Amino acid sequence: MPTLFDPLTAGALTLKNRIWMAPLTRARAGESRIPNDLMATYYSQRASAGLMISEATAISRIGYGWKNAPGIYTEAQEKAWARVTKSVHEAGGQMVLQLWHMGRLSHPDFLDGQLPVSASAIAAEGVARSLEGNKPYVTPHALTKDEIQSTIDDYQKAAIRAIAAGFDGVEIHGANGYLIDQFLRDGSNTRSDEYGGPIAHRVRFLLEVVEAVTAAIGPERTGLRLSPMNGYQNMHDSNLEALFTHAAKELNKHDLAFLHVRETASQPLLVTPLMRKIYDGVMVGNDAYDFARAQKVLDDGLLDAVAFGVPFIANPDLVERFRSGAPLNTARPESFYKGAVEGYTDYPFMGKAA
Ligand SMILES: Cc1cc2nc3c(=O)[nH]c(=O)nc-3n(C[C@H](O)[C@H](O)[C@H](O)COP(=O)(O)O)c2cc1C
């Protein structure tokens, strides 16, 4: 069985190790929603990861909903991302862009007063981090079939921009309660047309997004993230196992570069092993892994790679630290989603003072 330090081929990507950086919203793009040089520095510092998955990046104006997060739906955003990917490549790294539509988890404050959209007109419980502090989630507008088609077009256009900006590929964000996940689950999708009802219908939106993106940039440069857990960000499905094993079976037809499954390793994995039995391609896991747990899932043949989130925030040289058994820096959560350099590019490398 491979070690975490062994190379891995994932579609068109030849990766130097199996220690990936998970997608991490860091909210440093400012109100312009345009990436900047500070972000280029942050990602370049972490270029020793086998693959970096970018922070979630809005595919459209209506898909946006996180203060200071970046987008990939304008020319200016595309050009600015090109500077980030250039510096990552110069540092020897590889990086894919995470394509994000927040659906009902956005708020009219971000959308010039417009309602956010979703599979069905069902509000999430809890509060959105709006521009003016926390506000209750609103009841979203249920997408019409025409609007579904134009949303799929938005994913495709964003993927084309990502490749034009020099990314090595994209990760479609199908996880964490955002738009695609809202379509997948019977807790948020009560449609009566071919996009709702039985599992085969609820996965249709996901599969159509996958088709549109892969048709434009190639399946070998397309990854997908799913999160087969209940409870997180309001998500609920009455039969997670059936839903996600069906998705895995259908995804086999698309030959993606990788399937990224977020299921916490702090408890026994329930759905990931079932998906692994069905899914033929490269599978990467995430959530609450440390070095030993990650090597164990590779040893067990359960996954091909592991993505690390918070450990990569605090340790730009995480791969080297794992290799040498060095202690890890402690993350500072207060700067996860705000600030500039502090808590972002100032975590020390091994052997260097803070
Ligand atoms: C600050 C922060 C930002 C995050 N942003 C994203 C994101 O943009 N996209 C995403 O899919 N997950 C996001 N997540 C979830 C992480 O990718 C990951 O699933 C989570 O941190 C668990 O992995 P870990 O235990 O290795 O940190 C975020 C998590 C944190 C802590």
pLDDT of residue 273: 98
52 lines ligand 1 (CB under 6 A): no
Q: DSSP string of 49-84?
A: SS-EEEEEEESSSTT--STT--BSSSHHHHHHHHHH
Beta strands 258-262 and 95-100 are unpaired
Residue whose CA is at the smallest distance from ligand 1 atom 2 = 24
pLDDT of residue 260: 98
β-partners of residue 56 are 98
Site to substitute for ligand 1 among 24, 54, 318, most atoms within 8 A of C-beta: 24
225 lines ligand 1 (CB under 6 A): yes
Centre of ligand 1 from the C-alpha of residue 24, in Å: 5
The minimum-distance atom of ligand 1 relative to the CA of 286 is 23
User: 8-335: which CATH number, 3.30.70.80, 3.20.20.70, 3.40.50.970, 3.40.50.300?
Assistant: 3.20.20.70
Cβ 55 vs Cβ 46: under 8 Å: no
The reply to whether 178 belongs to the active site is yes
Residue whose CA is at the smallest distance from ligand 1 atom 12 = 23
pLDDT of residue 128: 87
Q: Is the pTM of this model over 0.85?
A: yes
Domain parsing of the chain, residue ranges = 8-335
Q: Sign of the CA dihedral 98, 99, 104, 108?
A: positive
24 lines ligand 1 (CB under 6 A): yes
Walk along the chain (354 residues) in steps of 10 and give the mean pLDDT of each run. 97 98 98 98 98 99 97 98 98 98 97 98 90 90 98 99 99 98 98 98 98 98 98 91 98 98 97 98 98 98 98 98 97 96 97 62
Residue whose CA is at the smallest distance from ligand 1 atom 30 = 24
